[in-house]
């Protein structure tokens, strides 16, 4: 296996001991690669188990401790260094290298991913980070999602249907078509979609599955039981957390949680659990240590997301075109308070994942509406808590 880690800026000498550290000390979590000639062998470097292929070793070091994870006296001759403008974090087998200018999308927090299923590719992103590549799922799911995007982004609609679909476009990623790429000696098809996080410097994101019924109407009893087993109370609350990634500016660190953690959360945990992590200041310690302006920032973030959520709910109250099963919403905001990005302090909410969408239903999607309204209820409850804390501080 060859592991590649891309760093922001680096200089190095001719041996590990003489190599200089990254100039940007603030990026203490950044990783670099030291490439040296060695004989084929296997050794432990930090928490990575690396198989050296041929005469190449990609040597991993950490700036967190201002030194290497480990030293190896036999490594003395360096001849290559790999670096990119952004920390990409690529880990792939030698025979599965991605095409040029395409990288794994580091903010994928749910769905099919190589970390949980090695045979999966995961979401990819172009080097300019304008668009992402989502793997097209096997039939029939992949055809359903592809058909949904093509339906939404074509111009053949008229009347009320046209108006509703034009409104829906505001809530879903823009679709640019299908691209086929050679990966792992096979051709793979991808949905080319707008990168919803492209304007954020340090995006904080949450993926929430919406609807108390996550299986299709024609699902077998076995499938229904399987879905209910994932999260038994979903039929009561109508949503489930699939994952999140939050940037904490104070400590320059990122907190990531996956769907397994989400399954352990119940209504009484929401205010001190995932929503507290996402918006930073629900728990006692965050309220205690953060200043008034952090509370004000949190209020703006939550209010911005609630406004987007209610716009989606309003659309669902009017539409009778689609029924969405096992679909999600993606919440995002800028985690770097000092950011000057054009969407700084402007949260966003988008609908994603459309492998189980039914068209021309001619009835309200009560399943989705139920989950959406419940999620809004919990979010409003959280906002009330934050505002109460803010008033107590002023008193």
CATH number (domain holding residue 316): 3.30.470.160
User: In terms of domains, do 248 and 382 share one?
Assistant: yes
CA distances from 323 to 133, 158, 235, 355, 356 (A): 25, 20, 17, 11, 8
User: In terms of domains, do 233 and 91 share one?
Assistant: no
With a cut of 60, say whether residue 379 has pLDDT above it.
yes
The number of angstroms, rounded, from the C-alpha of 166 to the middle of its chain's C-alpha atoms is: 26
Residue 312 forms part of a structural domain: yes
- Pairing type for strands 56-62 and 253-257 reads unpaired
Residue 159 forms part of a structural domain: no
**Which one has a higher pLDDT value, 182 or 171?**
171
At residue 142 the predicted structure's pLDDT band, cuts being 50, 70 and 90, is very high
Residues 245/204, Cβ–Cβ less than 8 Å: yes
Separation CA 43–CA 72 (nearest Å):
10
Which range of 8-17, 28-37, 135-144 scores highest in mean pLDDT? It is: 135-144
**Residue numbers of the domain that contains 232:** 199-394
Domain final residue, candidates 95, 113, 148? 95
pLDDT of residue 273: 53
Three-state SS sequence of 95-151: HHCCCCCEEECCCCCCCCCCCCCCCCCCCEEECCCCEEEEECCCCCHHHHHHHHHHH
User: In terms of domains, do 70 and 209 share one?
Assistant: no
**Which one has a higher pLDDT value, 36 or 276?**
276
Domain final residue, candidates 95, 115, 144? 95
pLDDT of residue 45: 32
Of the candidate ranges 9-23, 296-310, 353-367, the one whose mean pLDDT is the lowest:
9-23
Residues 99/182, Cβ–Cβ less than 8 Å: yes
pLDDT of residue 394: 54
CA-based nearest residue to 325, from 124, 107, 148 = 148
Beta strands in the chain (DSSP E): 2-4, 31-37, 42-45, 48-51, 56-62, 67-68, 78-80, 90-92, 102-104, 124-126, 131-135, 175-183, 186-194, 203-210, 239-248, 253-257, 322-324, 327-334, 348-352, 357-359
User: In terms of domains, do 81 and 225 share one?
Assistant: no
Residue 125 forms part of a structural domain: no
Which residues does 197 contact at the CB level (< 8 Å), separation at least 6? 107, 203, 205, 332
User: In terms of domains, do 361 and 245 share one?
Assistant: yes
User: In terms of domains, do 86 and 221 share one?
Assistant: no
pLDDT of residue 50: 30
**Which one has a higher pLDDT value, 323 or 83?**
323
**Which one has a higher pLDDT value, 343 or 333?**
333
DSSP secondary structure of 36-57? EE--S-EEEETTEEEE-BTTEE
Residue 375 forms part of a structural domain: yes
Separation CA 165–CA 167 (nearest Å):
5
Compute the average pLDDT of residues 256-282.
61
Residue 129 forms part of a structural domain: no
Residue 273 forms part of a structural domain: yes
CA distances from 288 to 96, 292, 334 (A): 48, 10, 22
Residue 20 forms part of a structural domain: yes
Q: What is the pLDDT of residues 187-212, one digit of tens each?
A: 889 999 999 999 898 898 989 999 99
User: In terms of domains, do 226 and 350 share one?
Assistant: yes
The total of structural domains in the chain comes to: 2
Domain final residue, candidates 95, 121, 141? 95
User: In terms of domains, do 240 and 380 share one?
Assistant: yes
Compute the average pLDDT of residues 280-298.
45
Separation CA 239–CA 300 (nearest Å):
23
Residue 292 forms part of a structural domain: yes
User: In terms of domains, do 86 and 211 share one?
Assistant: no
């Amino acid at each position: 296996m060859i592991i590649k880690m891309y760093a922001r800026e680096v200089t190095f000498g001719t041996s590990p001991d003489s190599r200089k550290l990254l100039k940007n000390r603030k990026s203490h979590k950044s990783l670099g690669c030291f490439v040296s000639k060695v004989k084929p062998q296997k050794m432990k470097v930090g928490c990575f188990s690396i198989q050296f292929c041929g005469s190449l070793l990609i040597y991993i070091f950490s700036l967190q401790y201002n030194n290497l994870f480990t030293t190896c006296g036999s490594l003395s001759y360096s001849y290559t260094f790999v670096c990119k403008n952004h920390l990409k974090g690529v880990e792939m087998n030698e025979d599965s290298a991605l095409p040029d200018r395409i990288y794994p999308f580091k903010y994928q927090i749910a769905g099919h991913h190589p970390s949980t299923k090695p045979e999966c590719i995961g979401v990819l992103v172009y080097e300019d980070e304008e668009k992402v590549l989502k793997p097209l799922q096997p039939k029939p799911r992949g055809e359903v999602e592809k058909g949904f995007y093509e339906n939404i982004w074509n111009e053949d609609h008229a009347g009320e249907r046209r108006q509703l679909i034009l409104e829906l476009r505001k809530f879903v990623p823009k679709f640019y078509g299908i691209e086929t790429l050679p990966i792992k000696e096979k051709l793979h098809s991808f949905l080319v979609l707008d990168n919803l996080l492209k304007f954020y410097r340090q995006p904080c994101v949450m993926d929430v599955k919406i609807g108390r019924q996550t299986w299709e109407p024609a699902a077998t009893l076995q499938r229904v039981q399987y879905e209910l087993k994932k999260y038994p109370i979903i039929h009561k609350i109508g949503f489930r957390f699939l994952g999140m990634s939050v940037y904490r500016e104070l400590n320059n660190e990122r907190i990531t949680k996956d769907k397994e953690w989400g399954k352990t959360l119940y209504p009484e945990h929401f205010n001190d659990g995932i929503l507290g992590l996402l918006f930073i200041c629900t728990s006692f310690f965050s309220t205690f240590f953060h200043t008034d302006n952090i509370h004000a920032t949190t209020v703006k973030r939550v209010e911005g997301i609630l406004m987007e959520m209610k716009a989606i709910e309003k659309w669902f109250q009017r539409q009778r075109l689609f029924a969405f099963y096992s679909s999600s919403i993606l919440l995002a905001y800028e985690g770097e308070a000092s950011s000057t990005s054009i969407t700084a302090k402007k949260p966003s909410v988008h609908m994603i994942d459309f492998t189980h969408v039914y068209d021309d239903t001619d009835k309200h999607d009560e399943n989705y509406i139920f989950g959406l309204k419940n999620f809004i209820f919990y979010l409003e409850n959280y906002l009330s808590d934050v505002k109460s804390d803010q008033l107590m501080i002023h008193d």
